[in-house]
Amino acid sequence: MLKKKQGYTVAILGATGAVGQETLEILEERQFPLASLRLFASKRSVGEIMACQGKEWTVEELTDSSSFDGVDLAFISATDAISKDYGQRLGAAGIAVIDDSAVFRMDEQVPLVVPEVNAAALRDMPRGIVSIPNCTTTPLVMALKPLHDAVGVKRVVVTTFQSVSGTGSAAMDELMDQTKDLLAFRDITTKVYPYQIAFNLLPHIGSFNEEGDCSEEIKIAKETRKILGAPNLRVTATTVRVPVLRCHSEAINIELERPLNANEARAALAAMPGVLVYDDPAKKLYPMPLDATGKDEVYIGRVREDESIANGLNLWVVSDNLRKGAALNAIQIAECLING
């Protein structure tokens, strides 16, 4: 935990990226106690001015000689290489590091945290680093946690529908550019993704292993077990990139240890902090990316019993991947660290 102070000096590594920009917005929205702000990015962004909490802050180049003297807390949302290098360096220097990459997630000495689910894990940070999960794992564990506590979760089958913002700003630009070109009957170009993403789906996120699983699918399974403290939980995932700018959606099929009907499940989910049950089939009420964009909550709907298996349950989950899936979750962790 961080020493109690009136204000903290915060560094953001990757400040000009999609998550970095979202971090600045949320720091302002939640009035995080800032004494000072250090913004770091690549050379091409040096000198850029970014606003937060009524002040303007100048972007610095992140280099080996960058000084972090006086920094209390660092958010890292950049490349894996930067996370590995600076995460270890800053953590060893006594700076609390909140990292958005996959580099430290499965490290036994690094807590992997969603505050509503396992904030207690923050009590043990021997390396000074805490990881936030994959942006699809976070809403998944928030949906699973109340059900697991109520009756136990035995097996999870999840299919994700992930927006292009999960890849970054360049991917968002690519979707917009391809859409405009196609509607104008022009040829499109692909730079970020291996195939056209506009009006298309790509069942491939990350790299493939020899068994044909994507790295994103493996992350979801491993991270879910770690966060829930359920090493034997059976989890399988299929990850799909979709032509949506923002918000990830998930179709989740759950095999429970004991019976739980749909209404009981809705009640358990509604009592979970950070979850909004948005579910009324008669009124065609269910979560969509348009509903969750810019929102903090994890939206859950289409709650129904699965009669094909004993104690089966189906959920549809939508959340803003740049907020709860990344920046908001990191800032909530920082709030836990300063509030003890």
Q: Which residues are catalytic?
A: 135, 248
What are the φ/ψ torsions at residue 259 (nearest 5 degrees)?
Answer: -65, 145
What Rg, from alpha-carbon coordinates, does the chain have? 20
Left if phi > 0, otherwise alpha if psi is -120 to 50, otherwise beta: which for 102? alpha
Supply φ then ψ for residue 133, to 5 degrees: -75, 175
> In this structure, are residues 162 and 136 in contact, taking their beta carbons and an 8 Å threshold?
yes
Q: Which residues contact 325 (CB under 8 A, 6 or more apart)?
A: 135, 136, 138, 139, 166, 248, 319
User: Exposed, middle or buried: residue 65 (CB in 10 Å: 0-12, 13-18, 19+)?
Assistant: exposed
Q: Could you tell me the two tokens for 302?
A: 């289409």
Nearest-CA neighbor of 250 among 238, 234, 232? 238
DSSP per position, 308-331: TSTTEEEEEEEE-TTIIIIIHHHH
Q: How many CB atoms lie within 10 A of CB 30?
A: 14
CB 327 within 8 A of CB 30: no
Identify how many contiguous H helices and E strands the chain contains and give both numbers. Answer: 9, 13
Rounded Cα distance, 112 and 189, in Å: 38
Distance CA 271, CA 276 (A): 9
Query: How is the beta sheet containing 248-256 ordered, strand by strand?
Result: 234-241, 153-162, 248-256, 312-319, 298-306, 275-277
